[in-house]
Structure 1
């Protein structure tokens, strides 16, 4: 997923992804606010399952009735269409509040972890013996916001819709990798005939695979597995007001600016084991100034008491809010931030390796407002700490994920005959931290012998600019978070050569290497899930050590703040987002 990234990585496959990955480095001091805390590994987030979770979810005793919660953020979702949603913020908003899926993640306060439970479906799905067929049974009593019944055919249509990558880009692509005919079917808008991979019988929805897929229960938690009635779908406009099946529905949406949610009167808590409807509504305000929104929440007066942000707090505000830690939520996320190096434009391995030494890690983090040790720590492997099968290695000998060495960078550029090689990357002109990070990057790259050319974008457009093949850039700064705790959510989802050229640029490095694609096929087609665990760790090391298509710029964590009357806000450690589905206003 893209971090505020396609978890993508929000992090915020968003604020953080945007700010932190557009940074450059140097040396750091020891006065970081995060040095007093230890960083917890987040790669195993969401590994727990509870197929027996029962509805309704209890409303906490301390919750008041009614009121509105306000969410301020410096970033803006690029889409709220369920099929396209793949950044951590867009998936959290939709899945927690608006559109239900076959399964869902819910916060477990006992373990301080997210766990997978049923949602629209009565259980977590029933696979056949070799995981090539999964059946989900839809609950009775489900309705849309207009009072009409949710049907199994609507879920089947939503699944077919995920194949329409040309019309609806940027969503996850596991369906093309695993589902029957996923490599040829183009969705209901282009292929008018029936799709054999999804069948409906009564309330049962059966999905057939072209290769074993043991993680379908996790995949079914994404907004792509909601219900969409075909008769009410217009792919150009559906994201402006997706039909709600959750506790809240769209009242007003201004893309890039704001989203207002109100109660969905047809949501029945007796059908939902993972959500409550304790507040009257939600007010999301996007593209806000970081300093101003933090100042509002920290001052905690009036409506600020019911206000929160999902942006990581800056160092200065962290020091202030640390005196009132009940209003600070910290935790992990299974995210790695990277500079994706476009293999079609930076073709020489030595030039790519030079970037690994020129990147000014620590200075970049600080310029972007990261809390070193809390929201950002050095990274080596692509798989984040805690992921099963992860191997600790250094793709560049001596590179520990935080060392900047201009001399090594210059030497590699000289060997390649590429001194002064031009690096072009995006930054947001309307975000002070993005500008500061850009300045740090330029300084670091130039010290390492590169020519640095920042390309202007905005908070509202940077996500779509980043995934545009025609953008005049050769480096894409973003992050990626595990969609579930498995290497399957890292390499087939983002590093398969089959993804190169698809709309939405799901392979942001344009990494297409025959031997690595063959190895992915071997892992997916011939290994058991247990055997694949180690194989993905080996794949990670070989890809980075042999081809170096990405500079790992760190692993992510979260530090979010809220007003004193915001209740139920914990860290969704699968996304690094607030646990919207269980939140309320305290008495």
Structure 2
């Protein structure tokens, strides 16, 4: 089960749409479907204090340094705006790409190697200073900070910019705070301002038809261009959103309304609560108990990483009314290392033999997720039904596997399955070994601790043929799946898949500007990878968590695998 904060269609992926001023985009029908405590006729009301309980010992505030998806969801809801954003809807297939700081979702040139965004009129930071293109450019420059890259890697969205990479894979530009910033001219060509400092233009290293999605990333968020101290900014960042930081300590973060925020410039955020209190360092067992008991201020609380099943007693009917559950974007899959299993017939024999029903149960069953037939989840795949797969995943077919082995005409090479040594993965390894054995395929299982596991599976020369992959797209477009299936993905390409025809088609799909055509192209490539048995899709993660009894508007929000913090409002206490 994917709990909030533990991140990991008949209509194609999210449509791009600009929002007219004054139109608040919150799909209340989706909210109602996501939480049974929301009854028909409930009208959102402003006011009150929303509480957020976290087991974290600190709360990162520097937007360019944020990494965890729930941190991004929280920060973009309350403190920082981006050029584009995603609408609030519990249905992943109904989530839309919308304009935020920009007037629309971006204007590409003919080959999608250049994108321009014009800022809305009247944008300000919390101190009342105007928010301009120069501030957006400066914010992007901060994403090249070597400290951020060392901690989290260079964000995929930033890698799209036409800034050269050095032999070590790091960008030639090192950001505004480095003693030697490097190739400043390259960055200035990649990000430029015009039109009275209201239009920002990005020049890309390669075509990207989905760049309007990429700039939902906080790496592209504005920071005042005269900010002097890179390390110190994160302690007191200036807000561009509806709230500002009133107080921050090791135990608590307090947000209050930002008086400089103009609702007319922000049609996305309803900003219902008057105040947001984040309580840090809550022990997980206490967090789960407090959310279950639902007393005092906790009745107006949501929580990071709350586990509805942690308490010994089953959920009561009242608890069930407060349970938020829905589809996330994360996918679990079995990667087949093509350097260890180069013959497609051998890979297909493995895929045919795999007991997907057994693996589904070993990895958490229906509470943890829904069976997957591809890597692209609903909300991104152009064919939701085909992507989702059968409700009951099939058991292995040893006879079909044996026939494929005969077609190969060569013996299966030695196989080993490397996995992170946890009880759940150990159970999955046993299922996998048994199902392959039934088809006459020998498999060695290799449990590894965290220090050894990740280097072992990401090493280009890894000796292991099979490994469990876990992936969630950084934004809601199929292009990001290329990291799993092409050499450019580096260590993310666990299958070491290097098919020139596939890679060429992936590059063509990435440059497709038409949303529907691009979604169809990525879904077709996803299906090809599955048919070639490069990956064996297992499940799409499910989100679950309890909210306080006064909390309304709660939904499992697919873009970040979290609650949609910006849609939350509070029922006044009786």
Match of 2:447 among 441, 449, 454: 454
Q: 1:52 to 1:320 in 2, by over 3 A?
A: same
Q: 1:161 to 1:495 in 2, by over 3 A?
A: farther
**2:495 pairs with 1:499:** no
Measured in 2, the distance between the counterparts of 1:401 and 1:155 equals 47
1:173-252 correspondence runs (5 A): 173-177=156-160, 179-180=161-162, 186-187=172-173, 188=175, 189-195=181-187, 196-201=189-194, 202-209=197-204, 212-229=207-224, 231-232=226-227, 242-249=237-244, 251-252=247-248
Instruction: In structure 2, list runs of 5 or more residues that go unmatched.
Output: 27-41, 176-180, 437-441
Match of 1:440 among 427, 435, 440: 427
Q: Is the 8 A contact 1:44 1:386 kept in 2?
A: yes
Q: Is the 8 A contact 1:57 1:273 kept in 2?
A: yes
Measured in 2, the distance between the counterparts of 1:538 and 1:323 equals 44
Superposed CA deviations along residues 82-118 of structure 1, whole A, max 9, x for unmatched, are 3454553232122222221012223269999433333
**2:400 pairs with 1:415:** no
Q: Is the 8 A contact 2:328 2:543 kept in 1?
A: yes
Superposed CA deviations along residues 247-283 of structure 1, whole A, max 9, x for unmatched, are 34565476xxx77342264551433222216142232
Measured in 2, the distance between the counterparts of 1:288 and 1:512 equals 45
Secondary structure of 1:490's match? helix
Measured in 2, the distance between the counterparts of 1:324 and 1:552 equals 33
Equivalent in the alignment of 2:555: 570
- Higher mean displacement: 470-479 or 88-97: 470-479
Equivalent in the alignment of 1:4: none
Measured in 2, the distance between the counterparts of 1:465 and 1:79 equals 30
**2:123 pairs with 1:123:** no
Measured in 2, the distance between the counterparts of 1:248 and 1:160 equals 24
**2:574 pairs with 1:582:** no
1:464-543 correspondence runs (5 A): 475-481=467-473, 483-484=475-476, 486-491=477-482, 493-500=483-490, 505-525=491-511, 530-543=516-529
Q: Is the 8 A contact 2:371 2:539 kept in 1?
A: yes
**2:373 pairs with 1:380:** yes
1:41-52 correspondence runs (5 A): 46-47=14-15, 49-52=17-20
Q: Is the 8 A contact 1:572 1:578 kept in 2?
A: yes
Measured in 2, the distance between the counterparts of 1:221 and 1:95 equals 9
Secondary structure of 1:244's match? coil
Q: Is the 8 A contact 2:123 2:131 kept in 1?
A: yes
Equivalent in the alignment of 1:157: 138
Superposed CA deviations along residues 268-305 of structure 1, whole A, max 9, x for unmatched, are 1433222216142232657954x654443222222331
Secondary structure of 1:283's match? strand
Superposed CA deviations along residues 488-530 of structure 1, whole A, max 9, x for unmatched, are 2432x54332232xxxx45454443333222222334578655
Q: 1:476 to 1:377 in 2, by over 3 A?
A: closer
Number of matched pairs:
527
How does the TM-score come out when normalised to structure 2? 0.74
Q: Is the 8 A contact 1:42 1:384 kept in 2?
A: no
Q: 1:57 to 1:114 in 2, by over 3 A?
A: closer
Q: 1:330 to 1:47 in 2, by over 3 A?
A: farther
Q: 1:379 to 1:133 in 2, by over 3 A?
A: same
1:344-383 correspondence runs (5 A): 356=351, 361-366=356-361, 368-372=363-367, 375-383=368-376
Secondary structure of 1:538's match? helix
Measured in 2, the distance between the counterparts of 1:77 and 1:348 equals 49
Secondary structure of 2:332's match? strand
**2:49 pairs with 1:67:** yes
How does the TM-score come out when normalised to structure 1? 0.72
Measured in 2, the distance between the counterparts of 1:527 and 1:125 equals 11
**1:555 to partner: Cα distance:** 2.0
Pick the structure with more helix per residue: 2
Measured in 2, the distance between the counterparts of 1:233 and 1:281 equals 28
Superposed CA deviations along residues 522-580 of structure 1, whole A, max 9, x for unmatched, are 3345786554443323322222322x333312123333321101122123233332110
Q: 1:285 to 1:494 in 2, by over 3 A?
A: farther
Measured in 2, the distance between the counterparts of 1:293 and 1:476 equals 30
**1:52 to partner: Cα distance:** 1.2
Q: 1:153 to 1:540 in 2, by over 3 A?
A: same
**1:136 to partner: Cα distance:** 2.0
Q: Is the 8 A contact 1:16 1:311 kept in 2?
A: no
Measured in 2, the distance between the counterparts of 1:108 and 1:391 equals 17
Match of 1:553 among 538, 551, 563: 538
Superposed CA deviations along residues 138-178 of structure 1, whole A, max 9, x for unmatched, are 2344444566543311211333445668556445424544x
Superposed CA deviations along residues 297-355 of structure 1, whole A, max 9, x for unmatched, are 22222233123246585568796255554312233334432244555677676776576
Secondary structure of 1:206's match? strand
**1:80 to partner: Cα distance:** 6.3
Q: CA RMSD in A?
A: 4.8
Q: 1:296 to 1:281 in 2, by over 3 A?
A: same
Match of 1:327 among 322, 326, 349: 322
Measured in 1, the distance between the counterparts of 2:517 and 2:377 equals 19
Q: 1:174 to 1:112 in 2, by over 3 A?
A: closer
**1:487 to partner: Cα distance:** 2.7
Q: 1:377 to 1:190 in 2, by over 3 A?
A: same
Secondary structure of 2:183's match? coil
Q: 1:358 to 1:159 in 2, by over 3 A?
A: farther
Secondary structure of 2:411's match? helix
**1:392 to partner: Cα distance:** 7.4
Measured in 1, the distance between the counterparts of 2:279 and 2:345 equals 45
